[in-house]
Amino acid sequence: MFTKQFILKKTGQLLLHLLFWVGVLFFYTYFFGVNSSRYEDSFMFSLFLMPITIATTYVATYKLIPDYLITKKYSRFALYSVYTFIISAYLIAVSIFFSLIYISNFEYSEMNPATKNIIFISTAVYLVVFVVSGFKLLKLNLKQASKTRVLETKILETQLKLKEQELNYLKMQIHPHFLFNTLNTMYGFALKKADETPDMILKLSNLLDYLLYQAEKPFVLLSEEIAHIKDYIELEKMRFNDKLDIHIDVDTNLKDITIAPMLLLPFVENSFKHGSIQDDVLSISIIVTTDSGKIHFRITNTNTEHSSNTGGLGLENIKKRLELLYPDQYELSIDNTNDMYSVSLQLKPQ
């Protein structure tokens, strides 16, 4: 069903086309009336030439260009362009006979000089065809560029949504993994009715607050991440007692540096989970420094020759999160020797 807006649009286009062709008619009349005092003859010749020009132009702009040139069917475009040229050239030749027979009454000497030369006439016709075709090609290219930009925007939005969904999925995996390990430790203390249990609950409460609320933020202060790493370490100290030798060296000049939440904590958790006790002690060293806007994080723990120390789910998730959040902005290296396992991360915050 035709709407009012559709009818007005088509009417406007029709009036615009009529106005253009009226302008072409006056151009032909002036063009072919050069060196002639009989402008009525030039006008009659121009009227006869108009259908040829209009037909050739519309075939080029509404068939050849959109159906074959834009769609890259170059062989068909070339073939049908030759057909169009031959037919239009034949009709242009017929226009000369029209000028001779109907306008000059078979008197060649009475013919308008401009209407005797087929090259002169063809130049006028194909000039209009080429100009209109050029504008049509430009319009189609702009339209295609606009569609491409819209499509690229949709693709980027889709990719962004997929990244957000993947990040949320990875966070959902990290949360149970971390809680499972911590609650296991607390369960053991509860069974022994240890005096340290209330303090452990308080530490865990702080971690849960960070885990459930702060971790939903895209970025947190690096100092907050470090503070909750220290809370986690305090929990592990209660579990290991004198079997833990841990060294923490944190740069005091952290300023307002931000980082994705729960990005460093899984590395620390991994050291406690997969680190090996040597000489009755688990040794862990953590160093966090900043330099030229980069974060340098290094953690090492004692290892045994037969320990796989692959890092499990937590380490795999953290690698995926780094790739999603900091593409081409981080360097992660893992060194697994017979007696030491180390992770080094260099990160350029956004």
Digit-coded pLDDT (tens) for 123-151? 889 999 999 999 998 988 888 888 888 87
Which pLDDT belongs to residue 97? Answer: 82
Q: Does pLDDT of 99 surpass 80?
A: no
DSSP SS3 for 38 = coil
Q: Does pLDDT of 168 surpass 70?
A: no
Entry pTM: 0.52
Three-state secondary structure of 41-60? HHHHHHHHHHHHHHHHHHHH
Q: What is the largest CA-CA distance in the chain?
A: 126
Distance of CA 240 to the CA centre of its chain: 49
Helices and strands: H and E segment counts in the chain: 8, 7
**Which residue segments constitute the domains of the chain, with CATH numbers given?**
4-154 (no CATH), 194-347 (3.30.565.10)
Task: Return d(Cα 320, Cα 168) in angstroms, integer.
Answer: 12
Residue 298 Rama label (left phi>0; alpha psi -120 to 50; beta): beta
Residue 5, token pair as written in the block:
């807006």
Task: Return d(Cα 72, Cα 233) in angstroms, integer.
Answer: 65
Mean pLDDT is lowest, of 251-255, 290-294, 345-349, for 251-255
Read off the pLDDT of residues 217-232 as tens digits, 9 standing for 90 and up: 778 888 888 988 888 8
Selection from 50, 58, 130 nearest residue 98 by Cα? 50
Task: Return d(Cα 68, Cα 82) in angstroms, integer.
Answer: 13
Which pLDDT belongs to residue 55? Answer: 93
Residue 324, token pair as written in the block:
């999603």
Q: What is the 8-class DSSP label of residue 252?
A: S
- Mean pLDDT in residue range 108-120: 74
What phi and psi values does residue 289 have, to the nearest 5 degrees? -135, 165
Chain-wide mean pLDDT for the chain?
81
- Mean pLDDT in residue range 76-105: 86
Q: Does pLDDT of 310 surpass 70?
A: no
Which pLDDT belongs to residue 178? Answer: 57
Task: Return d(Cα 269, Cα 233) in angstroms, integer.
Answer: 9
Mean pLDDT is lowest, of 145-149, 205-209, 293-297, 338-342, for 205-209
Higher pLDDT, 48 or 35: 48
Distance of CA 195 to the CA centre of its chain: 56
Which pLDDT belongs to residue 13? Answer: 87
> What is the pairing mode between strands 330-336 and 340-347?
antiparallel
- Mean pLDDT in residue range 38-45: 79
Kindly give the residue spans of alpha helices, DSSP state H, lying in 193-310. Answer: 197-212, 222-240, 265-274
Task: Return d(Cα 334, Cα 344) in angstroms, integer.
Answer: 6
The tokens 């226009």 sit on which residue?
95
Mean pLDDT is lowest, of 181-190, 231-240, 277-286, 339-348, for 181-190
Residues 6+ apart with CB under 8 A from 166: 320, 324
Read off the pLDDT of residues 177-200 as tens digits, 9 standing for 90 and up: 556 766 777 777 777 777 777 777
Which pLDDT belongs to residue 163? Answer: 62
Is 275 within 8 Å of 308 (Cβ atoms)? no
Mean pLDDT is lowest, of 111-120, 223-232, 312-321, for 312-321
- Mean pLDDT in residue range 152-162: 69
